[in-house]
Structure 1
């Protein structure tokens, strides 16, 4: 069983866009550049990120299985009262909704949590991405800054009512923390009274 942990002061240098005021929880640790077979977490993340152009093929089953597993693990790691009272918000994927490669895997995870807690969750896509970007894991040497990311993020005003008081901001792997920084700051400006917590399937750990 996975055990949720909070990113602490000693780990902030691994995620340098985070500050000591951020509350970020992770369930697992992902090791980059070590491949699919390196660990259970690496396999899970590999399957979770499997491209949507594989849909309809036998291998796509493993992506669907990963989505279900992550929903189950989140449900097991957090109190149902928080999961049902907070607004659960996915950080947008790299492609816009109109792109053929748009992948709403994190939204699917959040919508699947209710199955495991026997209730319903307030899942909202509060942030809309207005331009396509390359997936971060495909350009490790040229990662976008929070300012760049925020410039293509917008609040989805159709989803803002009722106003959220507690927000869980979800993503698969936290690396530098640039997407979290952009998303949290955008939401905090729009909902200044809301308490925002980041939740990640895994944090990237350094090799050395």
Structure 2
């Protein structure tokens, strides 16, 4: 494929009138290089073609014969001026459309970014809310556990039972009391204690008293 040969004089005149090179070449090619008027009329008839500004291509060379001298009339000048204004108007409209499209794309991007930020904030808020709920549930379970433990201690105290961690002390005391004489009432363990520390302390004091009493009895029996 090659660019067709056109009348260079007519081409220069069309370009001087403001027509682009591709459009002028296309007009001269399709009007057969007949005349400047025919080229201008072809442009007027085909100004809405999508490919009007594309350079024409042909498979073979076309012989061109230069026409005789041509003098531009006032009417042709007016037509050329009108076409030039139309071309400039389409260029201005195209630029405005391009600006509007750019603005539309910009707004779309801003909306998408705002939506993404809102979704991210909502996700963070949801996670924080769930963590707060878990922490509150944990505190509630701990309060319930402490309340159950306190109720258990109070029930054991009302039943005159030692706490769980001191319950093993009583079997040992019971074994000692079975093997030796019962403790006097004055040194027996009290039946109710308010705290674990008091109970442990009383148990140790009772054991020491028991040992002192046993030692005194043993020395008294010696001859």
TM-score of the superposed pair, with normalisation by structure 1: 0.15
Where relative contact order (Cα < 8 A, 6+ residues apart) is larger, the structure is 1
Greater fraction of residues in strand = 1
TM-score of the superposed pair, with normalisation by structure 2: 0.14
Greater fraction of residues in helix = 2
